[in-house]
Chains A and B, each alone.
Chain A
Amino acid sequence: MKRIYVNEKWCLGCHLCEYECAYANSGIADMVRALKGKTIHPRVQVDEEGDIHFAVNCRHCTDPICVKSCISGALTKGEDGIVRIDQNKCVGCLTCVLVCPYGAVLPSPEGHAAMKCQLCTDNMMGEPNCVKHCPNGAIVLGERDAL
C-alpha cells in the first residue's frame, strides 16, 4: 500500500505540514478562518531535537499494535491497509497513544477520543495535504519499495 514516508535528510522543520494537516481536517474551506487564533492539533507532528527534524504521522503498520490494543474495537485496519479510528466508538482511553511506537496516535483536543492520520481519506482533501504542501519534498506518498 501507499504510505507517507518522511526523509529526515530533507525535512526542514518548518512545521508547514502541521498547519496543512490541521487545515485539511478542519472541515473549513478557508485556511485563515480554519486556523487563525486557534491552537492547532495536527495529526502529523514534527519531531525535532537540535538540528534533527522530521515529520511523523501514522505508519499504517502491517501489524498495528494500536488496533490490537484498542479496548473498544474503534481502531481497524481496512482492506486498503489504512488504519482508521471510529471516533464514535472510541471512548478516549488512549491505550493506542500509550502503545504507538511512533507517537503517531494522538489524543484529540476535545479529550473524548484519539485521532490519527488517515491519509486524508476522511476529509475534503482527497490526497495527503502534508505531502502536497511539503516545500522540500521531504514528505512523500508511495510504496515502500519504490522509495
Chain B
Amino acid sequence: MKKYQYVIIGGSIAAVAAIEGIRSVDGAGSILVIGEENHIAYGRPLISYYLLGETDLPRMDYRPADFYEKNKVECMLGVRAAAVHPEEKTVELVGGEKVGYEKLLAATGSRPFEPPMSGIERVKERFSFMTMDDMLALERALSPEKRVLIVGAGLIGLKCFEGIAARVKHTAIVDLAPRILPSILDETGAKMVQRVLEAHNAAFYLADSVAHFDEHKATLKSGREVEFDILVTAVGVRPNVELIKEAGGEVSRGIAVDEGGRTTLPDIFAAGDCAESFDITSGTKKILALLPNAYFQGHAAGVNMAGGEETLTNAAPFNSIGFFGTHVMTAGCYEGEAHIDKTQNTYKVLFVKDGVLNGFILVNLPERAGIYTMLLRKRIPLEETDFKALEAAPKWSALPKEMRRDFAREV
C-alpha cells in the first residue's frame, strides 16, 4: 500500500487551494490528489463562458500546466474514493485498492440534486450543468432549431441559459420560486435581471413546476405546457458528505468543520462545497457553495494539515455574476434596515443591521464594490464612517482617519 503525507479526495478548487496551503508550509511532504473527474482542476463556473465563446478548454485550466509537477503532486484522475478508514488512516478506492495518509482532506464537492419528476426518464436529451463533461455533452446537443427547457432559475440554470441563448431557438425556464435568482436577489433586482434575460429570448414560468414530462413536452402544475427538445435540470446541488459520514464524521447540512477546516475525525479535514462554513452575516452554519469560499477553506485546511495555522473567521456569501452585460453583485444576508437607490439601469440596496453593513445588492454598479464587501466582512461600525457618502458610492475617503492611515501602509 502506498502511503502519502497528504491525501486529497477531490481535484477541484479546494484541492488546489489546499496544495498551495500545504506548500506554503511544507515544501516536501508527499501529496496525492484523487479526482473523480478526468481533468485537472478547471474554473468550474467557466463552463457557461465556454458555451458563450469567451474561453476555451486550455484557458479553463485553473492553474498553469506545470502546477502539479512544480508542487510535486501526484494525481489519480478518474478515480473514485469508496471509503475512508480513519482508524487505519487509509482511503479505499473503488476497486478495493487502498492508499494511506497522514492527513486527509475531503474536498468532495457537490452533485446536482435530482428530485423525482414524473416521466423524466422519457426525456432523451437531458443534462445537468455542473461539470465540464456535463457542459460538453450539452454542447454536442445544441443546434439553432432546438428548443430548451431549463428547470431552475438559480445561478446555474441562468448562467447555462446565457451560455446557450444564442445557440438554440428559444429557451423556457421554470422555477418553483416566484422570482429568478431567489437565493441572491430581491424582487426588484430579480425583475431587472429577468427583463434582460427575456430580451434574449427566455420565457419564464415562475412560481410553477413541472408536473409531468413527455419526451418533448413538460406539463406544468399550472396546467401550462412547454415544448422542448433539450432539458437541463438545475434545481440545486447536494454536498458529497457520504465518505465522511460513513467514516463516523459529524455531518449536518454539510461536513462539520472548525475554523481551521478540521472535521470531527482525527487528521481529517474538509473544504469546499461539501463542508459547512459559519456565515458571519446570518450567524448560522451553512454551505457556502461559492468558488472563493472553497479556496479560502481549502487554503486554511492545507496550511493546518501541514502544521501551520490559518483560520477562516469571516466567511460570508458573496456573488458576482453577469448576464449579457448586466452585472449583479450581492453579499451577506438581507436583513435589517434597507437603504435603497434605484435608477433605470442600476439598483442598490445596502442592508444595515446592528450598526454594520450586513448585506447588499448591486445591479450594474460594480465599481469598487469590494469596499462594501470589506465593510461587511470586517464588521466595520458604520457610525464611525461617513455613511451618507458610503451610501452614494463605496469609497475609502468616507472611512475613519485611522483606517485610512492603515490603508496607506497595509498590504
Contacts and interface: CB of A to CB of B under 8 A. Distances in A.
Interface string B369-408: 1110110001000000010010000111110000011011
B411 A98 contact: no
Nearest to A91: B49
B31 to A, nearest CB: 19
A5 B409 contact: yes
Contacts of B329: 94, 97-98
6 contacts: A52-B397, A54-B396, A68-B292, A68-B295, A71-B44, A92-B54
Interface string A120-147: 0000000000000000000000001001
B411 A62 contact: yes
B63 A73 contact: yes
A112 B325 CA distance: 9
Interface string A1-42: 001011110000000000000000000000000000000000
B404 A95 contact: no
Nearest to B321: A93
A91 B366 contact: no
Contact of B396 (A68, A71, A89, A102): A102
Given A72-B43, A96-B370, 11 more contacts: A5-B408, A6-B408, A48-B397, A49-B389, A54-B404, A69-B292, A73-B62, A94-B366, A103-B394, A112-B54, A144-B411
Interface string A89-114: 10111111111111111110001100
Interface in B111-169: none
Contacts of B54: 91-92, 112
A60 interface: yes
Interface of B: 17, 43-46, 49, 54-55, 59-64, 291-292, 295-296, 299, 318-322, 325, 327, 329, 331, 366-371, 373-374, 378, 386, 389, 394-398, 404-405, 407-411
A59 B409 CA distance: 9
B291 A69 contact: yes
Interface in A59-96: 59-62, 65, 68-69, 71-73, 88-89, 91-96
Contacts of A71: 43-46, 291-292
A49 B398 contact: yes
A80 to B, nearest CB: 14
A3 B325 CA distance: 33
Contacts of A56: 396
A11 B320 CA distance: 32
A105 B370 contact: yes
A110 B321 CA distance: 16
Nearest to A67: B295
A105 B327 CA distance: 15
Contacts of B325: 111
